[in-house]
Amino acid sequence: MPPQRPAVTSSKSASLRSLARERVLGESVFIRTVRGEDFPQWKLLWDGYNAFYGRKGATALPEATTAMTWARFFDSYEPVHALVAEHSDQLLGLVHFLFHRSTISIAPVCYLQDLFTVESSRGKGVGRTLIQEVYRRAAEAGCSRVYWLTHESNATAMKLYDKMAEKSGFIVYRKNF
């Protein structure tokens, strides 16, 4: 039997209930669930995100990984979600997050996995607004916390993160297979 999912995920087919609207530097930016027709613009953001972390050219993600990632956003069984920041029919940023269980909490937790904004939108509140919408949706789903990782060299992003959350003090170890 599949594990119980937080209630908010059942609304994927309805594009998740809300459309967040923020005024970022005097301009209306909409934060919304990604839609099928967003793929070309989302893919540009996704490629930019991956390039930022060195996954380009010979080290780029396989197209199959990108295709599966995209498909997961539209599969109601998957705990993976995608939001985009939109202004004047242009996508300015993306955020991907997932809900999962924890051994230290009865409530689910939310992992904010990917956050990226186009360079021209950085420092203008788009990233902050995307994070705030993840916070809202995580709270709505009954999560006890939201957490994420960033690379130690991402000093610009850490200036924002330091204002929005606390550093956990944990160091990440991993073993690739």
Please give the C-alpha separations between residue 51 and each of 45, 57, 128, in angstroms, as whole numbers: 10, 9, 21
Instruction: Name the fold adopted by 7-164.
Output: Aminopeptidase (3.40.630)
Give the pTM.
0.85
pLDDT value for 28: 87
Cα separation, 104 vs 101, in Å, equals: 9
Cα separation, 159 vs 130, in Å, equals: 16
Are 2 and 77 spatial neighbours (Cβ–Cβ below 8 Å)? yes
Cα separation, 158 vs 153, in Å, equals: 9
pLDDT value for 9: 40
pLDDT value for 63: 95
Cα separation, 130 vs 6, in Å, equals: 20
Please, what are the averages of pLDDT over each run of 10 residues along the chain (177 residues)?
42 43 66 97 97 92 96 96 96 98 96 96 94 97 96 92 94 92
